[in-house]
Amino acid sequence: LPVSCQLWENAVHCWCDLQQYHQLFYQDGLDPYRVQRQAHLLYSTYVCSAARSSIEVEEESRERVYTCLTPPFEELFDWVEEHTLTLLLEPWTLLTTRDTDTFLKVAVREETRQVESEPYGELKTLYEEAVHRLEQVSSIEVQRSNA
Domain ranges of the chain: 3-105, 120-147
CB 25 within 8 A of CB 35: yes
Confidence of residue 51 (pLDDT cuts 50, 70, 90): very high
Position 115 scores a pLDDT of 67
Beta-carbon-side half-sphere exposure of residue 19 (alpha carbons within 13 Å): 7
What pLDDT is attached to residue 1? 54
Give me the pLDDT at residue 40, please: 98
Report the CATH superfamily, name and number, of domain 3-105. Regulator of G-protein Signalling 4, domain 2 (1.10.167.10)
